[in-house]
A and B are shown apart, each in its own frame.
Chain A
Amino acid sequence: NAGVTQTPKFRILKIGQSMTLQCTQDMNHNYMYWYRQDPGMGLKLIYYSVGAGITDKGEVPNGYNVSRSTTEDFPLRLELAAPSQTSVYFCASSYDRARNTEAFFGQGTRLTVV
């Protein structure tokens, strides 16, 4: 089973560039999440989705956008990259609401903005 797949694994962006972080899950999960992990800071929720066509902001949404056109895919878009967006990004999914079940995480995308 592939689970949650994130691409790319590593990326270096220049300030002001844009990119999309891809996330795909093959478990038919309705709930999907994007987190960022900064050193020593735990994980902070950027956006989440409770199903295709539905997205909502998390704790730190500024500078990011998401879409959820299918159950499987939940891409995260960075517009006008800034050094503050240097981080490790994790996509996760769960079949039920976060409170009811475990979340499955991808292996992360390490992004550096220079």
Chain B
Amino acid sequence: AQKVTQAQTEISVVEKEDVTLDCVYETRDTTYYLFWYKQPPSGELVFLIRRNSFDEQNEISGRYSWNFQKSTSSFNFTITASQVVDSAVYFCALTPNRDDKIIFGKGTRLHILP
């Protein structure tokens, strides 16, 4: 089965706290691609990161960081020193190598409280 699970439906943290969004995936393919997208209140989805299955290096971009672990089939996303503008729904997604479809998780709604 090809599947993405985001077990956290909704998270609330106080501004400046760190928060980690979990993503677990399932795929039969040995080559695959993982993504994170952000959906702010305005509605459109905005691309954050793409990672292929051969690259297990963690990535940091400003306050955002991603931890990819093939051993646990996880691709977690951490926001450091959260800000109110980080409030959004965050989607983890998977594209198997043989496919042109993007398989999305159900999303995690993140509330950053001032």
User: Which residue numbers of A lie inside 8 Å of B, CB to CB?
Assistant: 31, 33, 35, 40-45, 48, 50, 56, 58-59, 88, 90, 92, 97-108
Contact = CB atoms under 8 A, between A and B. Distances in A.
Contacts, number: 63
A100 B44 CA distance: 20
B83 to A, nearest CB: 23
B61 to A, nearest CB: 14
B64 interface: no
B44 A45 contact: no
B100 interface: yes
B43 interface: yes
A88 B107 CA distance: 15
Contact of A41 (B99, B102, B106): B106
A42 B101 CA distance: 14
A42 B95 contact: no
Interface string B18-57: 0000000000000011010100001111110010000000
11 contacts: A31-B100, A42-B4, A42-B91, A88-B43, A98-B95, A98-B99, A99-B95, A99-B100, A101-B50, A102-B47, A103-B47
Nearest to B42: A107
Nearest to A58: B101
Given A41-B106, A90-B45, A102 B50 contact: yes
Q: 8 closest Cβ contacts across the A-B interface? A: A102-B47, A105-B45, A42-B106, A99-B95, A42-B104, A43-B104, A99-B33, A107-B44
B8 interface: no
Nearest to A48: B100
A44 B33 CA distance: 17
Contact of B44 (A56, A102, A108): A108
